[in-house]
Amino acid sequence: MALSASSPWVALAYLVAGVLFIMALRGLSSPATSRSGNRYGIIGMTLAMVTTLVTHGVASLPEIIGAIAVGGGIGFVTARRIKMTDMPQLVAAFHSLVGLAAVLVGWAAYLNPAAFGILEGAHIAAHSRIEMGLGIAIGAITFSGSIIAFLKLAGKMSGSPILLPGRHALNLGTLALIVGLVGCFTQVDDLWVIAAITALSFGIGFLLIIPIGGADMPVVVSMLNSYSGWAAAAMGFTLDNTAMIITGALVGSSGAILSYIMCKAMNRSFLSVIAGGFGADSGGAADGPAREARPWKRGSAEDAAYIMKEAETVIIIPGYGMAVSQAQHVLREMGDQLKHAGVNVKYAIHPVAGRMPGHMNVLLAEANVPYDEVFELEDINGEFAQADVAFIIGANDVVNPAAKTDKSSTIYGMPVFDVEKAKTIFFVKRSMGGVGYSGVDNDVFYMDQTMMLLADAKKMVEDIVKALAH
């Protein structure tokens, strides 16, 4: 062993790794600096891993290298192959792995406390037991919660909420029991205590996420992101490791802030999202007297092509429907053709568009849309009054004026795009039947200046591109 684990140089190395992680996030303040930020993250991780290996007795290096190679290979190939539209479920799957790794590390530390230096006499130090118990609990919740989030996002499980009777009492009771057991663990370090904490936490993670609807997933994914950070931080306390503590705090705050941004963009409280039940398939349609047949106009791809070519400014508002039909590439082609015709094309993105924060931005970037043509809600909302065309593709609730005017609406108070101020509105939608996930009817469908383009988003935009070529 070259260095002892307690040497100040080791602590310094972990601290440097922590600082490199801070710089990795700092780089993301602009796309221009983001890639160097990612490199800092890689250097920090390498430093943390190498430091650990040189300062601890390694019984069998080939086994360790083998484990890293197997995991790294799987991770790398997955990252290369994954489609950008599948990014939300990939992130959820990755969260689940962090959670499970935290649980395993906690168990390993429990079974071999000497290796972790957490023994006080013959027993594990009491404060280490609290940290270990919390780390295992948060890790297990992150794991099972992320599995459910993954299944919902990947469409392998219905996105609609599953509501168990008495779920609030059940959930709160289980959480209280877990906290009680962690307390108990400081007194009794028997195997059954830690096993019970693990089992109950797996259960509660599952119960917490099944009542949450598919459209609330941006909040859930951010929240699980936050949990995975707190789990790492708790383990960092157990191991007195500054790199883990700094990272845990960073990731924990990052996820918490993203959850807050998402909730604010939907005008919902975090508690109401967590309580779940929103976006149920039934219910929404029944409470709206607005479902009577109102006149609306159907447009064609040729109409859209003709009007947009003559326009001065076109603002495109993409939503989850664009991701579902993979329309981002052909949408960019449409944008290019319009730009060639001298039209000023801009993209407007709502914070909760898609299934995770920034989902639409990634898809547009994938389709080579320059990021300086893509605008956030507050930056572009003033421009609809001067815009000739608002082109809505796969979005619905984020353009619903009911959020501004109808106090009884479930989406009232949510910030939305002022599309109704544009001279012409094209609304690409699969059919008139479906409404947004909130189940609220949208007055925009029936406005004088609105033309409904009813088709699959990709097919419709392809037709518009063909029509523009003429």
372 sits near other proteins (criterion: CB under 8 A): yes
CB 324 → other proteins: shortest distance, Å? 17
The H or E element that residue 226 is part of is helix 217-239
Q: Which stretch binds other proteins (CB under 8 A): 149-157, 244-252, 285-293, 440-448?
A: 244-252
CB-wise, 223 or 453, nearer to other proteins? 223
Considering only residues 33 through 62, tell me which ones interact with other proteins, judged by CB under 8 A. Answer: 34-35, 37-38, 41-42, 44-45, 48-49, 52-53, 56-60
Residue 9 within binding range of other proteins, rule CB under 8 A: no
Distance, CA of 173 to chain centre: 28
Interactions with other proteins, residue window 72-101 (CB under 8 A): 72-76, 78-80, 82, 84, 87, 90-91, 94-95, 97-98, 100-101
Q: Which two structure tokens, joined as six digits, stand for 412?
A: 């009232």
Q: Per CB under 8 A, does 4 bind other proteins? A: no
Q: Is 67 exposed, middle or buried (0-12, 13-18, 19+ CB in 10 A)?
A: exposed
Pair of tokens at residue 136 = 């295992």
Least distance CB 264 / other proteins (angstroms): 12
Q: Which two tokens stand for residue 215?
A: 């459209």
In the block, tokens 């990052």 appear at: 254
Q: Catalytic one among 190, 216, 240, 397?
A: 397
Site string for other proteins, 257-296 (x = CB under 8 A): xx--x-----------------------------------
By CB under 8 A, name the one of 3, 12, 104, 191 that touches other proteins: 104
Q: Of 9, 3, 2, 13, which Cα lies nearest the Cα of 242?
A: 13
Residue 397 a catalytic site member: yes
Nearer to other proteins, 97 or 280 (CB): 97
Name the residue nearer to other proteins (CB basis): 22 or 275: 22
> In the complex, what is the shortest distance from the CB of residue 162 to other proteins, in angstroms, rounded to a whole number?
25
Does 1 bind other proteins (CB under 8 A)? Our answer is no
**What is the C-alpha separation between 330 and 164, in angstroms, rounded?**
43
DSSP letters spanning 265-325 = HHT--HHHHHH--TT-TTTTTTT-GGGS-----B--HHHHHHHHHH-SEEEEEE-HHHHHT
Single residue of 109, 182, 322, 395 touching other proteins by CB under 8 A: 109
CB of 24 to other proteins, least distance (A): 6
Nearest Cα neighbor of 44 from 20, 28, 13, 27 is 20
**Count of Cβ atoms closer than 10 Å to residue 163 Cβ:** 11
Closer CB to other proteins, 95 or 152, in the complex: 95
Q: Is residue 108 a contact residue for other proteins (CB under 8 A)?
A: yes
CA distance 396 to 321: 9
Site for other proteins (CB under 8 A): which residue of 189, 302, 373, 418?
A: 373
Query: Is 345 strand, coil or helix?
Result: strand
Quick check: 294 and 452 in contact, CB under 8 A? no
Site for other proteins in 153-212 (CB under 8 A): none
Q: Which is nearer to other proteins, 371 or 385 (CB)?
A: 371
- Tokens standing for residue 169: 């009492």
| Segment interacting with other proteins (CB under 8 A) among 196-204, 225-233, 272-280, 417-425 | 225-233
Residues whose CB falls within 8 Å of the CB of residue 69, separated by 6 or more in sequence, listed in order: none
Pick 210 or 352: Cβ nearer other proteins = 352
**What is the pairing mode between strands 450-454 and 424-429?**
parallel
Helices H / strands E in the chain, number of each: 18, 8
Token pair 């108070």: residue: 413
Which DSSP helix (H) or strand (E) runs through 346?
A: strand 344-349
Least distance from other proteins to the Cβ atom of residue 15, Å: 8
Q: Which stretch binds other proteins (CB under 8 A): 68-76, 174-182, 408-416, 455-463?
A: 68-76
Q: Please say which residue, 19 or 454, places its beta carbon nearer to other proteins.
A: 19
Between 66 and 283, whose beta carbon lies closer to other proteins?
66
Number of residues that bind other proteins (CB under 8 A): 118
Restricted to residues 294-323, the positions that interact with other proteins (CB under 8 A) are none
> Considering the rule CB under 8 A, would residue 254 count as an interface residue with other proteins?
yes
Binding residues among 338-357 for other proteins as defined by CB under 8 A: 349, 351, 356-357
Burial 218-235 (b: 16+ CB within 10 A, else e): bbbbbbbbbbbbbbbbbb
Q: Least distance from C-beta 393 to other proteins, angstroms?
A: 18
Tell me which residues are annotated as active site: 397
